[in-house]
A and B are shown apart, each in its own frame.
Chain A
Amino acid sequence: MLACLCAVLWHLPAVPALNRTGDPGPGPSIQKTYDLTRYLEHQLRSLAGTYLNYLGPPFNEPDFNPPRLGAETLPRATVNLEVWRSLNDRLRLTQNYEAYSHLLCYLRGLNRQAATAELRRSLAHFCTSLQGLLGSIAGVMAALGYPLPQPLPGTEPTWTPGPAHSDFLQKMDDFWLLKELQTWLWRSAKDFNRLKKKMQPPAAAVTLHLEAHGF
């Protein structure tokens, strides 16, 4: 029995989960990214309220749910549950990265159009935070060894209201932009939570290992 215990203690540093001096892996990055999405969710709740009031009724009414007329270019966050479950990590992260790249671009256009200084400050602050989230996702992807998606030439999203785009439709786009952003942040929280659980170290393996020796 004593010999077994000594053998376990001798091999203990070799157990990967207990080796504190090694590379922590992508776990902490994923946790930080998850925390950032939750923070942005909270921040967006305040910003969207202010901005929709700035647009005026009906956009600031709680039950306003217009058809998605001119916002076809916005990346959709909603996806079939089975499809979402079947996504692999790389695809999941790639979709997040691409969505926020587009949304950030649209958001900056929104900032340029804002008439009040206070609103511009709030939007600028949010854009900075969103830029941080984008960098954080890129960091997770790099830690997992996934390459960053390269934007195809000519597909760079632009903020061009255009003469045919009426002001009312533009307000609808703004509304949908904020709504999609909110949905994406919610989806990202789910994504990163799933990823976080997946990347957690197999602590139970140590227990099983010890039990195998009769403890």
Chain B
Amino acid sequence: MRSMVDDARIPKPGFWSNWSSWEEADAQNSLGHDPLFVFPKDKLVEEGSNVTICYVSRIHQDNISCYLEGVQIYGERLDRSVSAFELKNVSFIRKKGTNVFCKVDQGGALGGIVLFVSKVLEEPKDFSCETQDLKTLTCTWDPGSDTGLSKQPSQSYTLFESFSGKKTLCKHRNWCNWQVAQDSQETYNFTLVAENYLRKRSVSILFNLTQRVHPMTPYNLFPKNVRATNATMTWKVHSIGNNSTLLCRLELLAEGKVIQQHNVSIKVNGEYLLSELEPDTEYVARVRCAYTNHFWKWSELISQKFNTAEAAPSEAPDVWRNMKMVSGHPTVSLFWKPLSKVHANGKILFYNVIVENLDKPSRLEVLSIPAPARSTELTLDQCSYQIHVTAHNNVGPSPASVIVISGDPGNEEVESGRVNGTEDGFSVSWKPQSGDATGYVVEWCDGPQDLPCVLQWKNLGPNTTSTVISSGAFRPGVRYNFRIYEISAKRMAHLLEKKAGYLEELAPSDNPQVVMSNLTSHSFTLSWKDYSTESQPGFIQGYHVYLKPKAGEQCPPAFEKTVLPEDSVCCKHTIDNPEQKTFVVENLQPESIYEFFVTPYTSVGEGPLDAFTKITTPDEYSHILIRIILPMIFCVLIVMIICYLKRQWLKEKCYPDIPDPYKSSVLSLIKSKENPHLTIMNVNDCVPDAIEVINKPEGSKIQFLGTRKSLTETEFTKPACIYLLPTEKNYSGPGPCICFENFTYNQAASDFASCGHFPVTPQAPPHQLGPLTSPENLLKALEQNYMNSLGEIPAGEANLNYVSQLASPTSGDKDSLPTNPPEPALCSEYKMQMAIPLGLASAPPSENSSLSSATLLGQGEHYR
């Protein structure tokens, strides 16, 4: 054992004493009766130390295992009952210490220690001392980390001043107060000693007290006499010693930025006049002070907010107008922009609009429009007016903004141009028209055309011929129209140019509604006249007409083959004139299916790919047929209608109920063409050979002709015909069914009548009519009669064969046959009157037979 004095007052290095003599001790016997002991107990070491641990056991050592934090460690066996373990470079694990324990594997005996590892004590950093009032020194430092072991309290701090020899134990870890001595000690040499159980660290500073003055924060900072452009700031400071002067810095901030800075030397009260202020503006004044004798540190800041007073607006409002005719009267919409805060100099309460007629003297019209309105509307007449607009706040009016409106709007038609949009906006330029322009105005609407116009304008100087119009409201794909006005010396505006442009052109968003017309077998016409090129998201440069022909067919000549985005091939025709809104698709195949689609295109691209419209070209001749058939059908309809309307007349003309030979036009035709000597045979002139009176029911006739039933069953069930011999020339009493038979006529023709030519009596039985009961017999009879008649006809009378069939129940002869009351009238038999030319009659027998058959059938038809 040896020793050394360790005191801060004794300069280092200290001196060690000599080693003491060795003493012997019997450790094992002095321990007690526990089976296992571990040493050293509760040792406190610094981080990085090497520690030797040993155990003493009363049992066999092979059964003992030792662990450091649960991990087995292996040591050196020193003795039969003692083993040692060396732990190198131990580190801090936890405040509650590192656990080392040994245990007997079977017996359950256990012994252990807790090794407390402390972090190395750090030297205090940033040690400094200062005073606020030259009475108390405050020393501060950064203590660094503290291990905070339960075995060892936190390190202590002691402040020692070498000149006075005083020291104080600091109550806080990072600061300490020191009372300045009354003996006006100026220089101080402080040593700060940090100490724990294991180590001691110190740091020293030497300084002059007056060079470590850190004044206290000023107080009572207030504005005084605040006006529109100036204000006085006052404040106070804590005095430091006697007659000490402080340097104070007064700063003025507007919108967070320092705009003025002033240094003021004061003892206790500070005052400063701040000038060049803006009216109606919020400012912040702040002040801080330092010791004038020796600058060490600024004090903390004190701030104060204040507002300057209002002043009259300093600038005329920016006014613009828009003229239009409402109900025949020129109406002016006046717009003005709110004055900026810099120029308003206070809250704008209202705007005054003074309207002065320049053409004739009249009273000034004054309108007062309360803020925040930005426009008004004036209805004027055809005179010229000068309009003054002023903005008013609490203090007074602004300078007037003057604008002159001409009663004659003039011809404002000017050429339109295009303007390109860039990221910065629209670069608009123009050509000056007259030399006396006092300025230019560019006017536009912020929104798209289909929205209400939010009129915007920009005033430009007289020497300007271009400007960049930028607005946060500009959007890509919207057409903006700019109008450039020239302001004359008389304050009148004249439209110079019109420009239209897009901030960024886009591809068309929709396609036109296409109407297809004039469809023929080889062409059709497409038109989209309703498509407006103005309201598109880009300048329409033209149109693409897409056509899908049927598979395998080539594109028409005006088209070129192209591939659509969906990889389908079709034909495309480009129309490069945006105003051409019709197109004729030609050279098509008849009876073919085509699909078409029209889309506009801009410089960016074409419109969306919509669905194709399908059409089928018609047949090549169908239109011709339609042209012919339709008029024919129409004509036929007309004729039918006329026939229907004139049916009575037609009936009389063509097929009267009682034909009148004298009225027959047929006769006149035959007469004129064939034989001019043809005359009408009068019945009265004929001498009848025989008179057939037929009386048979109508229904029986129908049966005979329609069903061809046997005559024995039908016609002769009731005697119908009465045959009269032509014995009396003047007999004029025709019965209900009377056949006149004249042998000067063709016998065959007369045989066609339903009446037979057999000279039978009325009482004749029906079977006597056998030869006519079948058609074959009838035809045979006809042939025979015909051949006979040819031989019997006299040469002088053979030029006309006439069969007269008269059965007129309406004639007056009916009274002459009282024996046949009403019945016969129902079965009056009609016989066709024919005038057959001789040539026709002399035809070969075969032909005559066919003719007779036809006549018979025609007769039958008539009955039906």
Contact = CB atoms under 8 A, between A and B. Distances in A.
B294 interface: no
Kindly name the residue among A54, A57, A67 whose own CB sees the greatest number of chain B CB atoms within 10 A: A57
B114 A171 contact: yes
A59 B95 contact: no
A168 interface: yes
B68 to A, nearest CB: 9
Interface in A28-79: 54-59, 61, 66-67, 69
Nearest to B112: A168
A54 B99 CA distance: 11
Contacts of A54: 94, 96
Given A67-B109, A168-B99, A57 B42 contact: no
Interface string A104-122: 0000000001011000000
A56 B113 contact: no
Given A67-B108, A113-B150, A115-B96, A58 B67 contact: yes
B337 interface: no
A166 to B, nearest CB: 5
B96 A55 contact: yes
A193 B112 CA distance: 41
A57 B110 CA distance: 14
B145 to A, nearest CB: 15
Nearest to B67: A58
A54 B101 CA distance: 17
A61 B67 CA distance: 13
Interface in A155-205: 166-168, 171
B381 interface: no
A56 B67 CA distance: 12
Contacts of B42: 166-168
Nearest to A64: B70
B771 interface: no
A61 B71 CA distance: 12
B475 interface: no
B109 A58 contact: no
Given A166-B41, A167-B42, A167-B151, A56 B108 contact: no
Given A113-B150, A166-B113, A167-B42, A56 B101 contact: no
Contact of A167 (B70, B93, B114): B114
Contacts of B377: none
B69 A56 contact: yes
A10 B54 CA distance: 86
Contacts of B110: 66-67, 69
Contacts of B488: none
A166 B67 contact: no
B148 A171 contact: no
B98 interface: yes
B94 A56 contact: yes
Interface residues of A, number: 17
A115 B69 contact: no
B97 interface: yes
Nearest to A66: B110
Interface string B64-80: 00010110000000000
Contacts of A167: 41-42, 97, 113-114, 116, 151
Contacts, number: 55
Given A67-B110, A166-B114, A168-B113, A115 B70 contact: no
Nearest to B116: A167
Contacts of B95: 115-116
A109 to B, nearest CB: 13
A128 B122 CA distance: 40
Contacts of B148: 115
B45 to A, nearest CB: 14
Contacts of B94: 54, 56
A55 B112 CA distance: 13
Kindly name the residue among A57, A61, A168 whose own CB sees the greatest number of chain B CB atoms within 10 A: A168
B347 to A, nearest CB: 56
B98 to A, nearest CB: 7
Nearest to A53: B94
Contacts of B99: 55-59, 168, 171
Contacts of B38: 168
Nearest to B42: A167
* Size bracket, chain B contacts: 20 to 34
Given A67-B110, A166-B113, A56 B96 contact: yes
B596 to A, nearest CB: 80
Contacts of A57: 67, 69-70, 99
A171 B112 CA distance: 10
Nearest to B43: A167
Contacts of B111: 168
B463 to A, nearest CB: 76
A179 B691 CA distance: 158
Contacts of A55: 96, 99
A59 B630 CA distance: 115
Interface string B22-59: 00000000000000001001100000000000000000
Contact of B101 (A58, A115, A116): A58
A54 B150 CA distance: 12
B112 A56 contact: no
Nearest to A69: B110
A141 to B, nearest CB: 38
Interface in B104-151: 108-114, 116, 148, 150-151
Given A66-B110, A67-B108, A166-B114, A56 B98 contact: yes
Nearest to B98: A56
B752 to A, nearest CB: 126
Contacts of B109: 67
Contacts of B70: 57-58, 61
A171 B100 CA distance: 12
Contacts of B116: 167
Given A56-B69, A57-B69, A67-B109, A168 B150 contact: no
A56 B98 CA distance: 8
A64 B835 CA distance: 151
Interface in B145-170: 148, 150-151
A116 B67 CA distance: 26
A166 B97 CA distance: 12
A168 B114 contact: yes
Nearest to B113: A168
A116 to B, nearest CB: 8
Contacts of A168: 38, 41-42, 99, 101, 111-114
A183 B108 CA distance: 21
A185 B38 CA distance: 34
Contacts of B41: 166-168
Contacts of B101: 58, 168
B803 to A, nearest CB: 131
Interface string A90-134: 000000000000000000000001011000000000000000000
A59 B96 CA distance: 12
Interface in A76-90: none
Contacts of B114: 166-168, 171
A69 B97 CA distance: 20
Contacts of B113: 166-168
Contact of A115 (B93, B98, B108, B150): B150
A37 to B, nearest CB: 29
Contacts of B67: 57-58
A59 B97 CA distance: 13
B92 to A, nearest CB: 12
16 contacts: A54-B94, A55-B96, A55-B99, A56-B96, A56-B99, A57-B99, A58-B70, A58-B99, A59-B99, A115-B95, A166-B42, A167-B113, A167-B151, A168-B42, A168-B101, A168-B114
Interface of A: 54-59, 61, 66-67, 69, 113, 115-116, 166-168, 171
Given A115-B95, A168-B113, A168-B114, 20 more contacts: A54-B94, A54-B96, A55-B96, A56-B93, A56-B97, A58-B70, A67-B110, A115-B148, A115-B150, A116-B95, A166-B41, A166-B42, A167-B41, A168-B38, A168-B42, A168-B99, A168-B101, A168-B112, A171-B99, A171-B114
